[in-house]
Amino acid sequence: MLYLRKLILFLLALQAKQGADDKNFKPIEEMTGADTLIERPLATMVTKESDWLALWREHKEMIGDPPASPPGWTNYDAPPKVDFQKYVIVVYFGGQGKGVDGYQVVKVDTKGKTNVVQIAPHFFGSTVLSNSYGMWMFPRPKKPVELQLLVDVVNGEPQFRKLGEFAPPKVSAVPGRTGGGS
């Protein structure tokens, strides 16, 4: 009986620790719009700088490095700086569509051993064809991340479709370097 109590206490403590591992898994920064040059649906989690730069170049359709901005000016073509030892970027490109000018995070939750990020489109009353996207910076997760898109509301209940599930980034053996891909 004592062994069973110890086992239950151990399992409860382990479950509480797992829940606390990603308790701060909330978006820190957001970038969204309808001006990407990526015309296909794509959901990914970027975990390293080389993948971030490649994705950004495709997003802005750039060859080579982004142009430098004049002193004192903001360079809107340059990719935002990200410390991938601390953060990841969760990305969704919606592909070509009408009436959507971006996406927003509506809920972040933990379901079992997975962080679930639910997003919803921003709608605008236009029939103009656009390529919408959303990018969100999150703290590096310790659990897998599932990205879901709001697709309908039935009887007052939101209905989400799974866009992708991404493994937590791996830490490489080289200090200051991280593994994992987008």
Has residue 18 been placed in a domain?
Answer: yes
- Residue 172 inside a domain? The answer is no
177 in any annotated domain: no
Q: Compute how many other C-beta atoms are within 10 angstroms of the C-beta atom of residue 161.
A: 10
Give the domain range for residue 84.
Answer: 2-166
What pLDDT shows up at residue 9?
Answer: 47
Residue 71 falls inside a structural domain: yes
C-alpha–C-alpha distance, residues 50 and 71, integer Å: 26
**Count of domains in the chain?**
1
Residue 121 has a pLDDT of 92
Report pLDDT for 66.
Answer: 55
Domain membership flag for residue 40? yes
Q: How high is the pLDDT of residue 24?
A: 82
Position 176 in a domain: no
Please check whether residue 78 lies inside any domain of the structure. Answer: yes
Which tokens hold the place of 164?
Answer: 């992708």
Give the pTM: 0.76
Burial letters 54-82, b for 16+ CB under 10 A, else e = ebbbebbebeeeeeeeeeeeeeeeebeeb
Listed as ranges, residues in the chain with pLDDT below 50 are 1-4, 7-12, 14-15, 17-20, 173-180, 182
> What is the structure's pLDDT at 65?
58
| 96 within some domain | yes
